[in-house]
């Protein structure tokens, strides 16, 4: 028995897919990348933008046509809005929330009965997370031997007007800190070098527990303390934080412990106060500036990443220019820029999408060009210096090894070195481009002699 799994969207979905794989393989299924070999076909959906949802509709139409030739079971999970779920219930054999993953074996064994029941089931506007702990108790089948994701919470209470996450994942629920720390310890013992703590709003971790759980800063501190005693070199990241809940204490803890990676992903979304209010972001630009100032003061070597939406309802030229000015002010090392796309369920879906696609594309291009100025400047500042690099792949064009610095900047190494995959090595930077660098492997004896 073989299964084929397609995962769309964010790192949280990737993490969830590792637990889906674990459940299926415990049932005796074997994963295949060739969907024509599989008798079980599944998708983890993303509802952040329309494009990934369109992929779901296109793929299930293709799979249902394939049922004319062979017996198949299809399933869907991940982030699915209620409106899409209602339409897709008649097309997939099984649709379930990730909190119901532990029940998937029974669903597959009895999918005809379960599917009939699902068609008649009520479709809640807000998913409930009372069984999310069942998902976290499933040991994942990690897709990598050196990079791993560790979920620390699920859901979001912020209700940004452009975002559908509260309607696909529900309200915030924090995972027990002891379970998180235990999973991190297990990964380090197994030799993992890059560990990312995941949540829709990680720095509100523990706030839903009314004092019965530690704070995000304390969670990082305990992981940092373990890193100091472990004797192992590894880097711990987190995504995504929200500026409203980011504290100076979090930054102080990152500065104190070597295993807490010196890279901060801090979504800004817009550089204009009026647009931020309309987005219900709950942070001002002054608040954002104070956080960046704390980072520059306490972790001057840190790289700064952000998320931006262009073309949001109400964003005129002057509002957009304020976002451009913010790029020149903060010198981001990377920005994930997206054109606004109305999502059913989000508050902004009721508003007119008044910025044309051509204008959105133009603004995306202008921000990308502004970002290049500072990404290249930072990368060029490292030429001639030796950096630590986690080797994690090969370059498609040259075949040489590639990796990420602690600050998550891509480096192409001067040689093909598969034996170094998953190891942290010294690389001397020889040249810089807009979004990457090239370097030479520094051999151990060279490091000792120097």
DSSP string across 205-248: TTGGGTTSS--HHHHHHHHHHHHHHH----EEEEE---GGG--H
Local structure of 257: helix, strand or coil: coil
pLDDT digits (tens, 9 = 90+) for 359-390: 999 999 999 999 999 999 999 999 999 999 99
Residues 6 and 43: beta-carbon distance below 8 Å: yes
Residue-wise pLDDT tens digits, 299-350: 999 999 999 999 999 999 999 999 999 999 999 999 999 999 888 878 999 9
pLDDT at 84: 87
In this prediction, residue 111 carries a pLDDT of 75
Task: Tell me how far apart the alpha carbons of residues 215 and 213 are, in angstroms, rounded to a whole number.
Answer: 7
Give dist(CA 357, CA 235) in Å, integer: 39
Q: Could you tell me the two tokens for 356? A: 């044309």
Q: What is the pLDDT of residue 34?
A: 95
Whether residue 154 contacts residue 129, with contact meaning beta carbons closer than 8 Å, is answered with yes
- pLDDT for 155-176, tens place per residue? 999 999 999 888 888 889 999 9
pLDDT tier for residue 104 given thresholds of 50, 70 and 90: very high
Provide the whole-model pTM: 0.86
402-412 pLDDT, tens digit per residue, is 999 999 999 99
Mean pLDDT in the chain?
92
Residue 154's nearest CA partner among 168, 138, 140, 137 is 168
Percent of the chain with pLDDT over 70: 94
What domains appear along the chain, each with residue ranges and CATH number? 2-119 (3.40.50.12160), 132-307 (3.80.30.20), 386-449 (2.40.50.140)
Question: Residue 113 pLDDT > 80, yes or no?
Answer: no
Exposed, middle or buried, 249 (CB in 10 Å: 0-12/13-18/19+)? middle
């Amino acid at each position: 028995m073989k299964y084929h799994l397609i995962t769309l969207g964010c790192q949280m979905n990737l993490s969830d897919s590792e637990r889906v794989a674990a459940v299926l393989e415990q049932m005796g299924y074997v994963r295949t990348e060739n969907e024509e070999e599989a008798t079980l076909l599944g998708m983890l959906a993303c509802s952040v933008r329309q494009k990934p949802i369109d992929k779901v509709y296109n793929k299930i139409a293709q799979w249902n046509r394939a049922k004319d030739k062979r017996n198949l079971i299809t399933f869907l999970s991940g982030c699915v809005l209620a409106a899409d779920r209602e339409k897709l219930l008649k097309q997939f054999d099984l649709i379930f929330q990730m909190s119901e993953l532990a029940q998937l074996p029974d669903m597959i064994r009895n999918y005809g009965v379960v599917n009939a029941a699902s068609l008649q089931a009520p479709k809640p506007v807000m998913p409930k997370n009372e069984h999310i702990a069942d998902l976290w108790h499933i040991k994942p089948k990690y897709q990598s031997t050196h990079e791993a994701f560790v979920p620390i919470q699920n859901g979001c209470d912020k209700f940004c007007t452009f975002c559908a996450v509260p309607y696909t994942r529900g309200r915030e629920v924090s995972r027990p800190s002891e379970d998180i720390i235990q999973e991190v310890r297990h990964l380090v013992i197994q030799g993992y070098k890059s560990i990312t703590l995941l949540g829709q709003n990680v720095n509100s971790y523990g706030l839903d527990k009314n004092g019965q759980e530690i704070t995000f800063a304390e969670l990082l501190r305990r992981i940092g303390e373990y890193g100091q005693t472990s004797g192992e070199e590894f880097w711990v990241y987190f995504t995504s934080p929200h500026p409203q809940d980011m504290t100076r204490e979090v930054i102080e803890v990152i500065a104190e412990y070597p295993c807490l990676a010196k890279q901060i992903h801090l979504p800004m979304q817009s550089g204009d106060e009026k647009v931020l209010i309309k987005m219900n972001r709950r942070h001002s630009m002054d608040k954002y500036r104070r956080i960046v100032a704390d980072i520059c003061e306490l972790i001057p070597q840190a790289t700064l990443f952000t998320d931006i939406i262009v073309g949001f309802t109400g964003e005129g030229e002057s509002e957009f220019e304020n976002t451009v000015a913010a790029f020149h002010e903060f010198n981001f090392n990377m920005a994930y820029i997206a054109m606004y796309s109305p999502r059913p369920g989000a508050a902004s879906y009721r508003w007119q999408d008044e910025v044309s696609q051509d204008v959105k594309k133009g603004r995306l291009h202008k921000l990308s060009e502004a970002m290049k100025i500072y990404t290249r400047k930072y990368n060029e500042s490292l030429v001639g210096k030796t950096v630590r690099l986690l080797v994690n792949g090969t370059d498609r064009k040259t075949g040489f090894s590639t990796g990420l610095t602690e600050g998550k900047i891509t480096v192409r190494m001067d040689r093909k070195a598969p034996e170094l995959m998953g190891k942290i090595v010294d690389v001397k930077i020889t040249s810089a481009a807009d979004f990457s660098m090239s370097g030479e492997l520094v051999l151990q004896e060279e490091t000792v002699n120097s």
